[in-house]
Structure 1
Amino acid sequence: MELNQYLSMFIDESKDHLQSLNENLLVLENDPKDISIVHNIFRSAHTLKGMSATMGFEDIASLTHEMENVLDLVRNSKLDMDPFIFDCIFKSLDALEAMVDDIVQGGTGKANVSDIVTSLQSIVTGDYQVEQSVGVASDSVPVSSGGTFADQADLTKVLDEYQYSVLLQSFDSSFNVYHIDVTVNEDCVLKAARAYMVFNLLENSGEVVKAHPAVEDLEQGKFEHSFSLYYVSEMDSETLEKTILSVSEIASASVMELDRASLDDLIAMTAEATLKAAQLEVAATLVAEAPVKAASVKSSDSKPVASSAPSGGAVASRTIRVDIERLDTLMNLFSELLIDRVRLEQLASEIDKNELTETVEHMARVSSDLQNIVLKLRMVPVESVFNRFPRMIRDLAKSLDKKVDLIVTGADTELDRTVIDEIGDPLVHLLRNAVDHGVETVSKRIESGKSDTGKVHLSAYHSGNHVYIEVQDDGDGVNREVVLGKAIKNGLVTPEQGARMSDLEVYQLLFASGFSTASVISDISGRGVGLDVVKTKIQSLGGTVLVESEPGQGTKFSVQLPLTLSIIAAMLIRLGHEKYAIPLSSIVETATVKLDQLRHVHGNVMMDYRSTVIPVITLGKIFEVPGYEIDSKVESDVVIIRKGDKLSAILVDELIGQQEIVLKSLGKYLTKMFAVSGATILGDGHVALIIDTNALLK
């Protein structure tokens, strides 16, 4: 049997099971005693193991088998879940996802998971060995089986890659690089204040590259009586030492000037010390917990074994998997059919034969139903994208030492599959930005009178022919002055332009290429990439993104996306000798207006509309349409369009009628056309441009 023909099915189902495992594990983490969730996790792992073994992916099968052994003890009440077990299984899922991704890329799906397997086995035996615990626990220091301490330095994060490169560049630029140990008096009451004063003095004459403990801990006084830092400056060591000792209640300051060799030696020594401290800490913890764990396992031996069978009978599968390319082909064929249908309707009206008219009308009804089915085949709930974010937020908040709740609403909102495949990465950027930049640290939230847990809302909803996805946090908000100051510094705007800009316009500067307001560069944000990528990607999908913020209350990013990229309902209009299409989702109503009732206010044409006044757009003049003569008319048809709470009226020569149109791209040569989003082929074979009303209402 040719197993390769089932590879695509294996990949799809593996991803489904891994997603289910992640979701259920997150739920179980909030309620570790819920055995029913453990049953669901066990079944997913068991199915994944069987599929992997059948396909010949032994490493995946081996790892899931060891996971099964742990989960079997838990579901039979012989083992209680604890943070170490959760972290270990999460690490296992990460490894499984990496192996499946390798298979997707054409690899063998093999990986060295011996450390994780050994850790899972140690959980089953009740003996959490120190080395494996350190290697798997996310808060511990990894141990490598061999290699020098210089190799392990990167793992222990003594200096990350960016910090290390800064120090190396400082050597090349003839700056002095120092490692400084500072000790405050033992009877010092305001340790945090003294540390701040030292940092303030140092930053006036150089740059602090790395501090230990972290700067946040130093600011909160979370250190004994000493701290160390890597520092770059043009000052000599003697002057530097005197500068630090000038701060009161500083007991001593040890300044060591480094070169490349001594820097690597110091990193290696620090890594070794950190590694040993971590091992001792884990060992002490395990010794203290071992009797408790042993007693727990022994006392539960007599408990009845829970049934693993799911309640109710099995339900037959009612779904099949279809390659997206086949759906694309089906959509393209139907688009051509739709153009021919419109042409037939036009010919039938001209020939005026009852039999032909009835047949064409029946074909129109059938094709309309077919169109709805084809569109629904391509529609996928955004849940398929949203599902991966709770795990990401959990890990991100943990790494930043923040408390964050992700609240998801509207996950059943459907989007075109083409859009779904592309929207994941922009949303990752926005969510990471919300957690890192938006939500404050626990201490800052408490100081501001907020709860210690930040909230990030991810919501989706339909509006007309568009879907809106919003990412909102209850953090500190965007600082207008900081953003504007950075934009002026980068030359994006002048101080005079900035003074006239509204808050909304200032916040849109965040999407400028390379723009970042982060004071500290990290792996999460602050490298000047992210939001510009988000805007570019969303615009390529025919969407828009806006940001709103209220200082101290939070920030909201709103993404507007087209519901589908293929077929839309539109109103056909005539301007002069040309026909245009306006999407129905943008139209409020149509009307007729007498031209002598239009107002002219400060050079702008306005009209009365339902107890208000709205601007009038003379589209024929804007597009310079041949044959368009508005001045000779007494009255004109108007189309009232809307974008959010903004209204406007478009003057047109004729309202032709509503029609389902096929959206066609203008190609790579006709780019950046004002107020035109695409084109369509009409029933008579002519091309009509589709008007982008959002551009007209800016």
Structure 2
Amino acid sequence: MDVNQYLSVFIDESREHLQAMNDQLLELEQQPEDISIVQTIFRSAHTLKGMSATMGFEDIASLTHEMENVLDMIRNEKLSMNEAIFEVLFQAADALEAMVEDIVEGGSGTSDVQSLIAVLQQIVGGGEPVAAKGEVHQTLSLDEFQLSVMQQSIAAGMKVYQIEVTLREDCVLKAARCFMVFGILENSGEVVGSEPSVEDIEQEKFEQKFTVYLVSERDAAELRSEIANVSEVEQVILVSVTEEMLIQVKEGRREAAAANAAAAVQSEEKAAAGAVGSPAGKIQKTQKDEQATDRKNKARNARASSANRTIRVDIERLDVLMNLFSELLIDRVRLEQLAAEIGRAELSDTVEHMARVSADLQNIVLKLRMVQVDTVFNRFPRMIRDIAKSLDKKVELVITGADTELDRTVIDEIGDPLVHLLRNAIDHGLEATNERIAAGKPETGTIQLSAFHSGSHVFIEIEDDGKGINRDKVLATAIKRNVISEEQAEKLSDEEVFRLLFASGFSTAEQISDLSGRGVGLDVVKSKIESLGGQVSVTSRLGRGTKFSVQLPLTLSIISAMLVRIGVEKFALPISSIVETAIVSRKEIRKVHGNQLVPYRDHVIPVIFLDEVLDIPVHEVSADPTLEMVVIRKGEKLAAVVVDEFIGQQDIVLKSLGQYLTQLFAVSGATILGDGQVALILEPNDLIK
């Protein structure tokens, strides 16, 4: 089999199954008694195991096989879910994802997953193993390196102990007692490993027992006695570890892996034999069983039918298709212009038909590139869960509009900026639980992640109900870092103050952490979003919360625009930003505090003369008493742009201005017109302040 031929399919489907696995684990964590969720996770693990075994990725296959065993016991109600099992399954999912990403990067997809496999085997075997006299149990916390350290210590004449400590059932301060035990152990030698981990022990994520492996020169009886004297320690079992025991552990692990593989084969052989067994050995199904089987078959057929109607297409092929269609669109506009000049009915009819067909083709091509933002959003619930646990905060993530579609190019780039904003919302935005209770808020903070269409843009908003942004603190930090002067600070509005957060290296965090406080967050977000032709803004109310709003173009390729002439130049204005066109008398324009304004539908809006703003040469001053205007919108704000002539509406192809013409005011790109001329595309959002 040509592995490379199927590798891309394997990667795509593996990512889908891993995402489904994570989503379902999060759902199961909320509803641990729902066996149907376990069934779904089991199917994902089973499919992933089969694919990886076929492709030769043995570590992925081995780990998913052990996950299957645990999930099979749970769905058959032989095992109940608990926090420890959830953590192991999440760790296994993370390990699988890391191996798949290694394959994406050109690696072999191999990883040392024996420790995880051992824990999953322990769960299947009946939970946490107990150390019997004279033997070392095969705990996950000891990897090959730690076993080697213990072997070398024994060879050097040191003593190695396995110490199992049991606390009393009524022990209240378990973490404090563990701290005292670890204090004794660390003063007596070197702690090689523990089960559960030190972090879990410190956070009291265990029942009453924990096991520690210690390298020491002290006598076993003295050590046992000192530990037993710690208050609320009920029992201490200390086993001296020999080199033979460690060798047995290593051999036992290898034998267990081989036994599991053999058991799996034997189980499949028994299942096959049972299918052709004697009539006496056949199980009579009830009507309910038959109905359930019928429902499963129908669901399977429906999924198969749906799968057969879809195909996977490389994004590069779609890029080529879009570029070819862009050239076709330019030629279509040119043909329409020539047909109008020649004036022959037959040519005009043919060009009109071609325009209708190409318009339909344009819609299809654009839709082929559109992807639901759910492909980005679906990775966030797991991330929020993990970060919230690490910060000891209670957080609920509410997602709306996940079916909103965006261009694939934008989708591929927007993930990291959203991760920054969500981390910022949890770390900076939401208060600690005790602070929320003191402020009269629910102890669980809420982060709302929403997406929606507006014109030819998509808006993604991240809103929290946290403490909001402290205006005075932001200003003080900005002045301290010489971002602005004290005189400038006094004149800034709230919106302008909040915009300072996007300055390079700006941070108000008092402590540096893995999540924030390094000054490399919001400026990166702003740069990335602007590189996609979008914008980001922030609003906040002290004590009530903060909302970040990201505005992104629906597509980066083709838009509908109004072509206008200003002086000797032609420009394109995106239709999505235009409210309407109008003709007004010059006498209606008034000058107030240096700004030119014009009445508009019971309001007064600013007037923008682009020949002045963009320094466009004008051959002669018009004596016409009226002015032609385009009313544009930016959110709730309106403005009127004065133009010399309306050329008409048409679909245009966006072309980049290259790496040298960047940061141009009010210009977002260019397009090629039907007559071969180049017209600049105006950015209305820059024109409205």
Match in the other structure for 1:407:
398
Task: Tell me if the contact between 1:115 and 1:132 (Cα under 8 Å) persists in the aligned partners.
Answer: no
Amino acid at match of 2:208: A
Number of equivalences: 571
Choose the corresponding residue for 1:556, options 542, 547, 561.
547
Q: Relative to structure 1, is the Cα distance of residues 440 and 222 closer, same or farther in structure 2, using a 3 angstrom cutoff? A: farther
Give CA deviations for 1:167-193 in whole Å, capped at 9, x if unaligned: xxxxxxxxxxxxxxxxxxxxxxxxxxx
Alignment of 1:499-648 (within 5 A): 499-627=490-618, 629-630=620-621, 632-648=623-639
Match in the other structure for 2:298:
312
Match in the other structure for 1:657:
648
Task: Tell me if the contact between 2:141 and 2:193 (Cα under 8 Å) persists in the aligned partners.
Answer: no
1:339, distance to aligned residue in structure 2 (A)? 0.4
Q: Relative to structure 1, is the Cα distance of residues 145 and 406 closer, same or farther in structure 2, using a 3 angstrom cutoff? A: farther
Q: Relative to structure 1, is the Cα distance of residues 50 and 579 closer, same or farther in structure 2, using a 3 angstrom cutoff? A: same
Inter-partner Cα distance in structure 2 for 1:431 and 1:572: 40
Task: Kindly indicate whether residue 338 of structure 2 is the aligned counterpart of residue 344 of structure 1.
Answer: no
Match in the other structure for 2:30:
30
Match in the other structure for 1:56:
56
1:132, distance to aligned residue in structure 2 (A)? 7.1
Inter-partner Cα distance in structure 2 for 1:604 and 1:277: 64
Inter-partner Cα distance in structure 2 for 1:222 and 1:594: 82
Q: Relative to structure 1, is the Cα distance of residues 111 and 267 closer, same or farther in structure 2, using a 3 angstrom cutoff? A: farther
Q: Relative to structure 1, is the Cα distance of residues 89 and 132 closer, same or farther in structure 2, using a 3 angstrom cutoff? A: farther
Task: Tell me if the contact between 1:575 and 1:654 (Cα under 8 Å) persists in the aligned partners.
Answer: yes
Inter-partner Cα distance in structure 2 for 1:54 and 1:117: 20
Q: Relative to structure 1, is the Cα distance of residues 407 and 142 closer, same or farther in structure 2, using a 3 angstrom cutoff? A: farther
Aligned to 1:6, the other structure's residue is in SS state helix
Task: Kindly indicate whether residue 82 of structure 2 is the aligned counterpart of residue 82 of structure 1.
Answer: yes
Q: Relative to structure 1, is the Cα distance of residues 114 and 521 closer, same or farther in structure 2, using a 3 angstrom cutoff? A: same
Amino acid at match of 2:649: Q
Inter-partner Cα distance in structure 1 for 2:27 and 2:482: 48
Aligned to 1:685, the other structure's residue is in SS state coil
Match in the other structure for 1:328:
319
Aligned to 1:655, the other structure's residue is in SS state strand
Task: Tell me if the contact between 2:119 and 2:140 (Cα under 8 Å) persists in the aligned partners.
Answer: no
Amino acid at match of 2:298: G
**Scaled by the length of structure 1, what TM-score is found?**
0.78
Aligned to 1:493, the other structure's residue is in SS state coil
Q: Relative to structure 1, is the Cα distance of residues 359 and 223 closer, same or farther in structure 2, using a 3 angstrom cutoff? A: same
Give CA deviations for 1:41-86 in whole Å, capped at 9, x if unaligned: 1111111000000100010000000000011111111111111111
1:526, distance to aligned residue in structure 2 (A)? 1.1
Amino acid at match of 1:84: A
1:500, distance to aligned residue in structure 2 (A)? 1.0
Choose the corresponding residue for 1:482, options 447, 450, 473.
473
Provide the alpha-carbon RMSD of the alignment: 3.0
Q: Relative to structure 1, is the Cα distance of residues 86 and 531 closer, same or farther in structure 2, using a 3 angstrom cutoff? A: same
Task: Tell me if the contact between 1:680 and 1:687 (Cα under 8 Å) persists in the aligned partners.
Answer: yes
**Scaled by the length of structure 2, what TM-score is found?**
0.79
Give CA deviations for 1:622-663 in whole Å, capped at 9, x if unaligned: 222233545533112100001011111011111111100000
Q: Relative to structure 1, is the Cα distance of residues 283 and 629 closer, same or farther in structure 2, using a 3 angstrom cutoff? A: same
Inter-partner Cα distance in structure 1 for 2:116 and 2:109: 16
Match in the other structure for 1:260:
none
Inter-partner Cα distance in structure 1 for 2:621 and 2:40: 69
Alignment of 1:313-462 (within 5 A): 313=299, 314-315=301-302, 316=305, 317=307, 318-462=309-453
Aligned to 2:385, the other structure's residue is in SS state helix
Aligned to 1:312, the other structure's residue is in SS state helix
Inter-partner Cα distance in structure 1 for 2:48 and 2:555: 34
1:129, distance to aligned residue in structure 2 (A)? 3.1
Give CA deviations for 1:132-190 in whole Å, capped at 9, x if unaligned: 77749xxxx99944559xxxxxxxxxxxxxxxxxxxxxxxxxxxxxxxxxxxxxxxxxx
Percent identity, aligned pairs only, is 62
Inter-partner Cα distance in structure 1 for 2:682 and 2:639: 14
Match in the other structure for 1:99:
99
Match in the other structure for 1:68:
68
Match in the other structure for 1:201:
none
Amino acid at match of 2:82: D
Inter-partner Cα distance in structure 2 for 1:593 and 1:570: 22
- Structure 1 stretches of at least 4 aligned residues deviating more than 6 Å after TM superposition: 130-134, 221-225, 265-274, 304-309
Amino acid at match of 2:410: V
Q: Relative to structure 1, is the Cα distance of residues 627 and 55 closer, same or farther in structure 2, using a 3 angstrom cutoff? A: same
Amino acid at match of 1:39: Q
Inter-partner Cα distance in structure 1 for 2:531 and 2:188: 45
Q: Relative to structure 1, is the Cα distance of residues 375 and 276 closer, same or farther in structure 2, using a 3 angstrom cutoff? A: closer
Amino acid at match of 2:617: P
Alignment of 1:139-288 (within 5 A): 144-147=146-149, 275=198, 278=201, 282=206, 284-285=208-209
Inter-partner Cα distance in structure 1 for 2:482 and 2:188: 40
Inter-partner Cα distance in structure 1 for 2:591 and 2:191: 75
Amino acid at match of 2:386: D
Structure 1 unpaired stretches of 5+: 149-220, 229-264, 289-303
Task: Tell me if the contact between 2:115 and 2:140 (Cα under 8 Å) persists in the aligned partners.
Answer: no
Give CA deviations for 1:363-407 in whole Å, capped at 9, x if unaligned: 000000000000000000000000000000001101111100000
Amino acid at match of 1:356: L
